[in-house]
Amino acid sequence: MLEHTLLDYELFIYALQDTYPDIQTSTLTVIRQASNVATVEGELFFSGDLRIRVMEVVRFDLEPSRLTRYGYNVWRGDEKLYWYDSQAHPNNPDLAVTHPHHKHIHPNIKHNRIPAPKMSFTKPNLPFLIEEVMELVHAG
C-alpha cells in the first residue's frame, strides 16, 4: 500500500539510499503541487553505469492514495534498456492483463510492450525497480 501521507512518501523517497545501499547517488526530488499532491522526479544511480530515471505523480487527496501517472526509464550509459509507463493502450489485447501497466523492451523498444504485473498505482513501484536493476548490476 502507498504510504499514508505525502510526508510519509517524501520520507520513503529520501531514505531510498539508506534502504538500498546499492544506490550510489539519488537526485530524486519530491515537488509539492498542493498539500496532498506531488511529483517525484530525478534519477537513481547504480554501479555498472546503470540508472533509473523516475517520474511519478502521487495523490494523497484521493481515496485510496495513489500514483496517478508514472514513467521509469532504465539506462546503461547512453543506452535505454527498457522502460515502464502507465499510458493506456486499450487496443492491445496482450496488455489487458495488467492494463494500463506495461514495459517497453527491445527490439523495437517504442512499440514492443509486455505486461507489467509488478507495477501498481496503489503501492510504491520503486522497490521492485531497484531490485530489478540490482539484478543487472550483480549480473555484470
For residue range 82-117, list pLDDT tens digits in order. 999 999 998 899 899 999 999 999 999 999 999 999
Domains of the chain by residue range: 6-139
The pLDDT value recorded for residue 40 is 98
Model confidence, pTM:
0.95
Distance in angstroms (rounded) separating the CA atoms of residues 118 and 111: 20
What does pLDDT average to over the chain?
95
Strand, coil or helix: what is 97?
helix
- Number of helices and strands (H, E) in the chain? 3, 8
- Whats the size of the chain, residue-wise? 140
User: In this structure, what DSSP letter does residue 133 have?
Assistant: H
The pLDDT value recorded for residue 77 is 97
Q: Give the amino acid at 107.
A: P
The pLDDT value recorded for residue 1 is 75
Distance in angstroms (rounded) separating the CA atoms of residues 95 and 81: 20
The pLDDT value recorded for residue 74 is 98
Distance in angstroms (rounded) separating the CA atoms of residues 123 and 140: 29
Q: How confident is the model at residue 140 (pLDDT cuts 50, 70, 90)?
A: confident
Q: Which three cell numbers stand for residue 100?
A: 494500463
The pLDDT value recorded for residue 21 is 94
- Parallel, antiparallel, or unpaired for β 66-76 and 79-85? antiparallel
Distance in angstroms (rounded) separating the CA atoms of residues 12 and 15: 5
Give tens-digit pLDDT for 19-75: 999 999 999 999 999 999 999 999 999 999 999 999 999 999 999 999 999 999 999
Do the beta carbons of residue 43 and residue 28 sit within 8 Å? yes
Q: Is the pLDDT of residue 123 over 90?
A: yes
